[in-house]
Amino acid sequence: MGRFFEKISFEQFKRDICDDKKLYDEYVLPRRLTNKSAGYDFLAINDFVIKPGEIKKIPTGYRAKFGDDEVLLLLVRSSMGFKYNVRMTNQVGVIDSDFYNNEKNDGHMFVSLQNHGDKEYVVKKGEAYCQGIFMKYLTVDDEEQNDRERTGWSALDKK
């Protein structure tokens, strides 16, 4: 079983972002800036601006496939907090392995950012605004059997 990022389907792209095949074909997958980087930089599909005090929900265009005993953590890039006072509204995004390709949203990850600074935060197409870090996690030895399956944003979503 591999670990990888891929684009959401074009049908999901049309629902969540826009009906622009050229834009869909040209945006790129997350990448590490150096061979020692822990995080994979998420790159903006389009330009966006977050005004002071504003919250913006940003579609990434990505989904991720990884092992059942792994999690993908979404975090802001360090410079965003230090330089611009921009942070994720949930502080850390937790993407579980069963979020991939689920029936309600194709596993499309979104990032919600809030500008706590006093200047507009401007991100140009292709610039990094978030990072994803894959990690292993542990569970307790005496965990109850759980057969619940994810169908959407949450494992608690009703069919």
Q: Where are the domains of the chain?
A: 4-136
Average pLDDT over residues 72-79: 94
Average pLDDT over residues 39-60: 98
Residue 154 has pLDDT above 60, yes or no: no
Q: Count CB atoms within 10 A of the CB of residue 149.
A: 10
H or E stretch covering 7: strand 4-7
Quick one: CA torsion of 16, 13, 54, 129, rounded to 10 degrees? 160
- Give the pLDDT confidence score for residue 142 in this predicted structure: 86
8 Å CB contact between 72 and 133: yes
- Give the pLDDT confidence score for residue 144 in this predicted structure: 84
- Give the pLDDT confidence score for residue 150 in this predicted structure: 58
Confidence class of residue 49 from pLDDT cuts 50, 70 and 90?
very high
CATH architecture of 4-136: Distorted Sandwich (2.70)
